[in-house]
Protein backbone atom coordinates (compact mmCIF):
# COMPACT_ATOMS: atom_id res chain seq x y z
CA UNK A 1 0.00 0.00 0.00
CA UNK A 2 2.92 2.35 -0.57
CA UNK A 3 1.30 4.10 -3.48
CA UNK A 4 -1.83 3.10 -5.43
CA UNK A 5 -1.15 -0.50 -6.33
CA UNK A 6 -0.83 -4.13 -5.37
CA UNK A 7 1.94 -6.69 -5.54
CA UNK A 8 1.05 -9.22 -8.21
CA UNK A 9 3.15 -12.13 -9.44
CA UNK A 10 4.81 -12.28 -11.83
CA UNK A 11 4.17 -8.72 -13.04
CA UNK A 12 3.37 -5.65 -10.93
CA UNK A 13 -0.16 -4.41 -11.66
CA UNK A 14 -1.37 -1.11 -10.25
CA UNK A 15 -4.84 -0.99 -8.72
CA UNK A 16 -6.51 1.82 -10.66
CA UNK A 17 -9.99 1.27 -9.23
CA UNK A 18 -10.19 4.69 -7.61
CA UNK A 19 -13.08 6.57 -6.04
CA UNK A 20 -13.99 8.75 -9.01
CA UNK A 21 -16.35 11.22 -7.33
CA UNK A 22 -15.27 14.71 -8.31
CA UNK A 23 -15.28 18.06 -6.53
CA UNK A 24 -16.46 20.51 -9.19
CA UNK A 25 -17.49 24.14 -9.50
CA UNK A 26 -21.08 23.12 -10.29
CA UNK A 27 -21.20 20.35 -7.66
CA UNK A 28 -22.65 17.86 -10.14
CA UNK A 29 -21.39 14.89 -8.09
CA UNK A 30 -22.77 16.37 -4.88
CA UNK A 31 -19.48 17.97 -3.82
CA UNK A 32 -19.20 21.61 -4.91
CA UNK A 33 -15.93 23.48 -4.63
CA UNK A 34 -16.03 25.33 -1.30
CA UNK A 35 -13.19 27.00 0.55
CA UNK A 36 -12.48 25.30 3.88
CA UNK A 37 -14.76 22.31 3.33
CA UNK A 38 -12.20 19.74 2.20
CA UNK A 39 -8.84 18.43 3.37
CA UNK A 40 -6.14 17.08 1.07
CA UNK A 41 -4.38 14.13 2.72
CA UNK A 42 -0.88 13.33 1.44
CA UNK A 43 2.47 11.87 2.27
CA UNK A 44 5.59 13.68 1.13
CA UNK A 45 7.11 10.27 0.42
CA UNK A 46 4.59 9.36 -2.28
CA UNK A 47 5.19 10.60 -5.85
CA UNK A 48 1.47 10.61 -6.68
CA UNK A 49 0.71 12.72 -3.60
CA UNK A 50 3.72 14.95 -4.31
CA UNK A 51 1.98 16.00 -7.54
CA UNK A 52 -1.02 17.30 -5.60
CA UNK A 53 1.25 19.10 -3.09
CA UNK A 54 3.05 20.90 -5.93
CA UNK A 55 -0.16 21.87 -7.75
CA UNK A 56 -1.83 23.16 -4.57
CA UNK A 57 1.23 25.30 -3.81
CA UNK A 58 1.73 26.66 -7.34
CA UNK A 59 -1.94 27.67 -7.53
CA UNK A 60 -2.02 29.22 -4.06
CA UNK A 61 -4.84 27.03 -2.75
CA UNK A 62 -3.53 26.83 0.81
CA UNK A 63 -6.34 28.94 2.29
CA UNK A 64 -9.06 27.13 0.34
CA UNK A 65 -7.88 23.55 0.78
CA UNK A 66 -6.18 22.46 4.00
CA UNK A 67 -3.62 19.70 4.03
CA UNK A 68 -2.98 16.71 6.29
CA UNK A 69 0.45 15.12 6.06
CA UNK A 70 0.94 11.46 6.92
CA UNK A 71 4.26 10.04 7.98
CA UNK A 72 6.50 8.18 5.51
CA UNK A 73 6.03 4.66 6.91
CA UNK A 74 2.94 2.62 7.59
CA UNK A 75 1.71 -0.88 8.25
CA UNK A 76 -0.59 -2.96 6.05
CA UNK A 77 -3.69 -1.12 7.25
CA UNK A 78 -2.98 2.39 6.01
CA UNK A 79 -1.02 5.61 6.16
CA UNK A 80 -1.03 7.18 9.62
CA UNK A 81 -0.90 10.72 11.01
CA UNK A 82 2.12 9.97 13.15
CA UNK A 83 3.67 13.41 12.51
CA UNK A 84 0.84 15.14 14.42
CA UNK A 85 0.55 15.52 18.21
CA UNK A 86 -1.00 12.37 19.62
CA UNK A 87 -0.73 10.80 16.16
CA UNK A 88 -4.15 12.22 15.27
CA UNK A 89 -4.94 14.59 12.41
CA UNK A 90 -5.93 17.90 14.06
CA UNK A 91 -8.79 18.57 11.63
CA UNK A 92 -10.18 15.12 10.83
CA UNK A 93 -9.54 13.79 14.36
CA UNK A 94 -8.50 10.37 13.09
CA UNK A 95 -5.21 8.44 13.47
CA UNK A 96 -5.34 6.78 10.03
CA UNK A 97 -6.55 7.81 6.59
CA UNK A 98 -8.21 4.38 6.54
CA UNK A 99 -10.82 5.79 8.91
CA UNK A 100 -11.92 8.33 6.31
CA UNK A 101 -12.26 5.59 3.69
CA UNK A 102 -14.45 3.56 6.06
CA UNK A 103 -16.52 6.68 6.76
CA UNK A 104 -17.26 6.68 3.03
CA UNK A 105 -17.89 2.93 2.88
CA UNK A 106 -17.65 0.68 5.97
CA UNK A 107 -16.98 -2.26 3.64
CA UNK A 108 -14.34 -0.44 1.58
CA UNK A 109 -12.03 -3.12 0.21
CA UNK A 110 -9.85 -1.28 -2.30
CA UNK A 111 -6.49 0.42 -1.82
CA UNK A 112 -6.12 2.87 1.06
CA UNK A 113 -4.11 5.45 -0.88
CA UNK A 114 -2.83 9.01 -0.91
CA UNK A 115 -3.50 11.57 -2.16
CA UNK A 116 -7.10 11.61 -0.99
CA UNK A 117 -9.48 14.52 -0.50
CA UNK A 118 -11.75 14.24 2.52
CA UNK A 119 -15.04 16.04 3.12
CA UNK A 120 -14.39 17.52 6.57
CA UNK A 121 -18.06 17.77 7.74
CA UNK A 122 -18.67 14.05 7.14
CA UNK A 123 -15.10 12.82 7.58
CA UNK A 124 -15.45 10.71 4.43
CA UNK A 125 -13.11 10.45 1.45
CA UNK A 126 -14.53 12.12 -1.63
CA UNK A 127 -11.89 10.97 -4.10
CA UNK A 128 -8.48 9.34 -4.34
CA UNK A 129 -8.22 9.57 -8.15
CA UNK A 130 -4.76 11.16 -8.14
CA UNK A 131 -4.76 12.16 -11.81
CA UNK A 132 -8.20 13.78 -11.71
CA UNK A 133 -7.43 15.49 -8.40
CA UNK A 134 -4.69 17.67 -9.89
CA UNK A 135 -6.64 18.41 -13.07
CA UNK A 136 -9.62 19.52 -11.01
CA UNK A 137 -7.44 21.70 -8.78
CA UNK A 138 -6.17 23.35 -11.96
CA UNK A 139 -9.60 23.85 -13.54
CA UNK A 140 -12.58 23.46 -11.19
CA UNK A 141 -10.90 25.37 -8.33
CA UNK A 142 -10.02 28.38 -10.49
CA UNK A 143 -12.10 30.78 -8.36
CA UNK A 144 -9.67 30.23 -5.49
CA UNK A 145 -6.39 30.40 -7.43
CA UNK A 146 -3.97 33.07 -6.24
CA UNK A 147 -3.39 36.17 -8.31
CA UNK A 148 -0.67 35.32 -10.81
CA UNK A 149 -1.26 31.56 -10.62
CA UNK A 150 0.09 29.78 -13.71
CA UNK A 151 -2.21 27.95 -16.09
CA UNK A 152 -0.96 24.40 -15.56
CA UNK A 153 -3.55 22.80 -17.83
CA UNK A 154 -4.11 25.24 -20.72
CA UNK A 155 -7.12 24.26 -22.78
CA UNK A 156 -5.29 24.52 -26.11
CA UNK A 157 -2.51 22.21 -24.84
CA UNK A 158 -4.57 19.59 -23.01
CA UNK A 159 -4.56 17.03 -25.81
CA UNK A 160 -0.79 17.35 -26.17
CA UNK A 161 -0.26 17.18 -22.40
CA UNK A 162 -2.18 13.90 -22.23
CA UNK A 163 -0.48 12.51 -25.33
CA UNK A 164 2.96 13.19 -23.85
CA UNK A 165 1.96 12.06 -20.36
CA UNK A 166 0.41 8.69 -21.24
CA UNK A 167 3.68 6.91 -22.09
CA UNK A 168 5.41 8.73 -19.24
CA UNK A 169 2.87 7.21 -16.85
CA UNK A 170 3.01 3.76 -18.44
CA UNK A 171 6.75 3.37 -18.92
CA UNK A 172 8.32 5.78 -16.40
CA UNK A 173 6.03 6.72 -13.47
CA UNK A 174 4.62 3.20 -13.27
CA UNK A 175 7.56 1.60 -15.08
CA UNK A 176 9.92 1.99 -12.13
CA UNK A 177 7.43 0.03 -10.01
CA UNK A 178 7.18 -2.67 -12.65
CA UNK A 179 10.94 -3.04 -12.38
CA UNK A 180 11.04 -2.94 -8.60
CA UNK A 181 8.18 -5.36 -7.96
CA UNK A 182 8.73 -7.72 -10.88
CA UNK A 183 8.29 -11.33 -9.81
CA UNK A 184 10.23 -12.91 -12.68
CA UNK A 185 13.32 -12.09 -14.67
CA UNK A 186 11.23 -11.83 -17.84
CA UNK A 187 8.83 -9.32 -16.27
CA UNK A 188 11.74 -7.25 -14.97
CA UNK A 189 13.59 -7.31 -18.29
CA UNK A 190 10.50 -6.13 -20.16
CA UNK A 191 9.82 -3.28 -17.74
CA UNK A 192 13.50 -2.27 -17.64
CA UNK A 193 13.79 -2.09 -21.43
CA UNK A 194 10.58 -0.05 -21.73
CA UNK A 195 11.66 2.32 -18.97
CA UNK A 196 15.00 3.10 -20.55
CA UNK A 197 13.63 3.23 -24.07
CA UNK A 198 11.27 5.99 -22.98
CA UNK A 199 13.81 7.81 -20.82
CA UNK A 200 15.99 7.96 -23.93
CA UNK A 201 13.05 9.44 -25.85
CA UNK A 202 12.59 12.07 -23.13
CA UNK A 203 16.32 12.80 -23.07
CA UNK A 204 16.20 13.63 -26.77
CA UNK A 205 12.91 15.56 -26.47
CA UNK A 206 14.21 17.75 -23.65
CA UNK A 207 17.59 18.42 -25.25
CA UNK A 208 16.02 21.11 -27.46
CA UNK A 209 13.09 22.38 -25.37
CA UNK A 210 12.87 23.57 -21.79
CA UNK A 211 9.52 21.98 -20.90
CA UNK A 212 7.61 18.95 -22.09
CA UNK A 213 4.72 20.89 -23.65
CA UNK A 214 4.61 24.57 -24.55
CA UNK A 215 6.94 27.22 -23.18
CA UNK A 216 6.11 27.07 -19.47
CA UNK A 217 5.45 24.50 -16.76
CA UNK A 218 2.34 22.39 -17.22
CA UNK A 219 0.71 19.37 -15.62
CA UNK A 220 2.98 17.17 -17.78
CA UNK A 221 6.15 18.47 -16.12
CA UNK A 222 4.73 17.94 -12.65
CA UNK A 223 3.88 14.33 -13.49
CA UNK A 224 7.43 13.60 -14.67
CA UNK A 225 9.25 15.57 -11.97
CA UNK A 226 8.05 13.51 -9.03
CA UNK A 227 9.56 10.37 -10.54
CA UNK A 228 12.82 12.05 -11.57
CA UNK A 229 13.41 13.57 -8.13
CA UNK A 230 13.20 10.08 -6.60
CA UNK A 231 15.26 8.35 -9.26
CA UNK A 232 18.81 8.36 -7.92
CA UNK A 233 17.66 8.34 -4.30
CA UNK A 234 15.53 5.18 -4.54
CA UNK A 235 14.63 3.89 -8.01
CA UNK A 236 18.16 3.45 -9.36
CA UNK A 237 19.19 1.01 -6.63
CA UNK A 238 16.09 -0.03 -4.70
CA UNK A 239 14.04 -0.76 -7.85
CA UNK A 240 17.03 -1.94 -9.97
CA UNK A 241 16.53 0.81 -12.58
CA UNK A 242 20.28 1.03 -12.84
CA UNK A 243 21.37 1.42 -16.46
CA UNK A 244 22.26 5.02 -15.64
CA UNK A 245 21.79 7.47 -12.83
CA UNK A 246 19.72 10.56 -13.54
CA UNK A 247 22.87 12.66 -13.08
CA UNK A 248 24.37 10.81 -16.09
CA UNK A 249 21.60 11.94 -18.47
CA UNK A 250 22.52 15.53 -19.42
CA UNK A 251 19.17 16.87 -20.62
CA UNK A 252 16.96 15.08 -18.08
CA UNK A 253 19.30 15.96 -15.22
CA UNK A 254 19.39 19.65 -16.17
CA UNK A 255 15.60 19.63 -16.67
CA UNK A 256 15.07 18.05 -13.25
CA UNK A 257 17.34 20.64 -11.60
CA UNK A 258 15.54 23.45 -13.42
CA UNK A 259 12.22 22.31 -11.95
CA UNK A 260 13.69 21.54 -8.52
CA UNK A 261 15.04 25.09 -8.28
CA UNK A 262 11.66 26.55 -9.27
CA UNK A 263 9.53 27.64 -6.27
CA UNK A 264 6.86 25.03 -5.62
CA UNK A 265 8.92 22.02 -6.69
CA UNK A 266 12.09 21.41 -4.69
CA UNK A 267 10.63 23.04 -1.60
CA UNK A 268 7.98 20.28 -1.46
CA UNK A 269 10.55 17.46 -1.58
CA UNK A 270 11.38 15.58 1.61
CA UNK A 271 14.29 13.25 0.82
CA UNK A 272 14.26 11.80 4.35
CA UNK A 273 10.62 10.76 4.03
CA UNK A 274 11.19 9.39 0.53
CA UNK A 275 14.04 7.15 1.63
CA UNK A 276 12.30 6.04 4.81
CA UNK A 277 9.18 5.04 2.93
CA UNK A 278 10.74 2.98 0.17
CA UNK A 279 13.48 1.29 2.14
CA UNK A 280 11.46 0.61 5.30
CA UNK A 281 7.99 -0.22 3.94
CA UNK A 282 9.03 -2.28 0.91
CA UNK A 283 10.33 -5.27 2.87
CA UNK A 284 9.71 -7.56 -0.12
CA UNK A 285 12.44 -5.59 -1.88
CA UNK A 286 14.59 -4.56 1.10
CA UNK A 287 14.08 -7.19 3.85
CA UNK A 288 16.47 -5.57 6.34
CA UNK A 289 14.77 -2.18 6.24
CA UNK A 290 18.19 -0.50 6.24
CA UNK A 291 18.10 3.04 4.81
CA UNK A 292 21.20 3.92 2.77
CA UNK A 293 23.18 7.02 3.66
CA UNK A 294 23.49 8.44 0.13
CA UNK A 295 23.34 9.79 -2.39
CA UNK A 296 24.94 13.22 -2.07
CA UNK A 297 22.16 15.74 -2.75
CA UNK A 298 24.12 18.96 -3.07
CA UNK A 299 24.32 18.63 -6.87
CA UNK A 300 20.61 19.51 -7.08
CA UNK A 301 21.70 23.10 -6.42
CA UNK A 302 24.11 23.26 -9.39
CA UNK A 303 23.22 25.70 -12.21
CA UNK A 304 21.12 24.06 -14.92
CA UNK A 305 21.58 26.46 -17.84
CA UNK A 306 18.13 25.70 -19.25
CA UNK A 307 17.22 29.38 -19.64
CA UNK A 308 19.01 29.32 -23.00
CA UNK A 309 16.23 27.13 -24.40
CA UNK A 310 13.67 29.91 -23.93
CA UNK A 311 10.38 29.90 -22.11
CA UNK A 312 9.83 30.76 -18.47
CA UNK A 313 8.52 28.71 -15.54
CA UNK A 314 5.18 30.47 -15.03
CA UNK A 315 4.43 32.03 -18.41
CA UNK A 316 2.37 35.15 -17.76
CA UNK A 317 2.02 34.17 -14.10
CA UNK A 318 4.25 34.67 -11.08
CA UNK A 319 6.06 32.41 -8.61
CA UNK A 320 4.25 31.35 -5.43
CA UNK A 321 5.26 32.92 -2.14
CA UNK A 322 7.20 31.14 0.60
CA UNK A 323 5.83 27.68 1.47
CA UNK A 324 3.24 27.45 4.24
CA UNK A 325 4.12 23.85 5.10
CA UNK A 326 7.90 23.80 5.39
CA UNK A 327 9.97 20.67 4.82
CA UNK A 328 12.41 20.33 7.76
CA UNK A 329 15.79 21.70 6.61
CA UNK A 330 17.59 18.51 7.60
CA UNK A 331 15.23 16.55 5.31
CA UNK A 332 16.18 18.61 2.25
CA UNK A 333 19.57 20.28 2.76
CA UNK A 334 19.63 21.45 -0.88
CA UNK A 335 17.20 24.27 -0.15
CA UNK A 336 19.77 26.08 1.97
CA UNK A 337 22.08 26.15 -1.05
CA UNK A 338 19.60 27.77 -3.44
Of the residues 18, 46, 179, 278, only one is catalytic, namely 46
| β-sheet bridge partners, residue 41 | 68, 116
- Rounded to an integer, what distance in angstroms lies between the CA atom of residue 17 and that of residue 134? 17
Cα 7 from chain centroid (whole Å): 20
Is 177 an annotated catalytic residue?
yes
Is 211 an annotated catalytic residue?
no
Cα 100 from chain centroid (whole Å): 21
| Sequence-ordered list of residues with C-beta below 8 angstroms from that of 293, at least 6 positions apart, any chain | none
Number of helices (H), then strands (E), in the chain: 10, 4
Cβ neighbours around 156 below 10 Å, total: 8
DSSP 217-250: --HHHHHHHHHHHHIIIIIHHHT---SS-GGGSH
79 is in an annotated binding site: yes
Burial code (b: 16+ CB inside 10 Å, e: under 16) for 232-256 equals bbbbbbbbbbeebebbebebbbbbb
Of the residues 18, 101, 153, 177, only one is catalytic, namely 177
Q: Which residues are catalytic?
A: 46, 177
Annotated binding site for glutathione: 79
Amino acid sequence: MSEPGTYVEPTFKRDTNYIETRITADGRDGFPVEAGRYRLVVSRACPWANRAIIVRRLLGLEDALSIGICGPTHDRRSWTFDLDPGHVDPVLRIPRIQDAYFARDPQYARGITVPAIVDVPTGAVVTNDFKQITIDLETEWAAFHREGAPDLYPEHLRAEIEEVSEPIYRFVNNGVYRCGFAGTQAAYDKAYLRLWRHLDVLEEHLSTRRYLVGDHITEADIRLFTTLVRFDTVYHGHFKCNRNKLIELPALWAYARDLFQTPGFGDTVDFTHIKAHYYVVHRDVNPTGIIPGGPDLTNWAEPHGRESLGGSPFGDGTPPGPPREVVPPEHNPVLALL
